[in-house]
């Protein structure tokens, strides 16, 4: 074995050992999302079909017009598409929810809901996950935690798309009345 080849093989082993563990929303998925950057980066294997059905934005991104999707058609290995700006925890949670690996009643923190609202707006997932938000909001209805997060909830509603995942201002006000 040549010195160059053994050096390359050793480098590949090191790079693989440094990569984050891959999670699986779909073990037979045809795509791996690389979410976030550096030490926070997460990998999750997903079905591109599930993502395209849930999100018109992801459907466009994964269409043949975009460079990212070309690797789907050209590759013999499962291709990776980077999502460096997205919150890794929220995007992994979102992918698991879309692949039915999460339940709407699973425990969820308000900071995570806030990050999910941003992703739902960015990828137009209000139809796919809109009913989930009603259950999340019920958790805080009449609670001290709901009152504590009231300004942030209003901010999310006011700055997001016409179909915000957390509902409208009235539903937020209802949530926090004790």
In the chain, where does the domain assigned CATH 3.30.710 lie? 1-88
Whether residue 40 is predicted with pLDDT greater than 70 in this model: the reply is yes
pLDDT digits (tens, 9 = 90+) for 82-117: 999 999 999 999 999 999 998 877 887 878 877 888
| Level-2 CATH architecture, domain 1-88 | 2-Layer Sandwich (3.30)
Task: Count the neighbouring beta carbons within 10 Å of the beta carbon of residue 139.
Answer: 15
**What would the mean pLDDT of 16-22 be, rounded to a whole number?**
67
Closest CA to 39 of 22, 20, 23: 20
Whether residue 9 is predicted with pLDDT greater than 90 in this model: the reply is no
151-178 b/e with 16+ CB inside 10 Å = b?
ebbeebbeebeeebbbbeeebbeebbee
Closest CA to 123 of 78, 91, 79: 91
Inter-residue contact 35 to 42 (CB < 8 Å): yes
User: Sorting pLDDT into bands at 50, 70 and 90, what band is 176?
Assistant: very low
Cα distance between residue 141 and residue 18, in whole Å? 43
Report the SS3 class of residue 46: strand
pTM over 0.75, yes/no: no
pLDDT in the model for residue 145: 56
Q: Which of 58-67, 105-114, 159-168 has the lowest mean pLDDT?
A: 159-168
């Amino acid at each position: 074995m040549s010195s160059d080849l053994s050096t390359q093989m050793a480098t590949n082993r090191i790079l693989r050992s440094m990569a984050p563990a891959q999670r699986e929303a779909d073990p037979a998925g045809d795509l791996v999302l690389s979410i976030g950057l550096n030490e926070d980066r997460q990998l999750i294997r997903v079905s591109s079909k599930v993502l395209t059905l849930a999100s018109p934005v992801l459907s466009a991104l994964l269409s043949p017009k975009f460079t990212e999707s070309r690797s789907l058609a050209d590759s013999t290995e499962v291709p990776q598409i980077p999502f460096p700006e997205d919150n890794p925890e929220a995007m992994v949670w979102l992918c698991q929810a879309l692949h039915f690996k999460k339940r709407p009643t699973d425990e969820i923190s308000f900071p995570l809901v806030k990050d999910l609202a941003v992703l739902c707006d960015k990828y137009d997932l209000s139809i796919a996950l809109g009913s989930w938000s009603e259950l999340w909001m019920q958790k805080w209805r009449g609670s001290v935690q709901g009152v504590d997060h009231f300004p942030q909830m209003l901010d999310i509603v006011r700055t997001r798309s016409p179909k915000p995942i957390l509902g409208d201002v009235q539903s937020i006000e209802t949530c926090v009345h004790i």
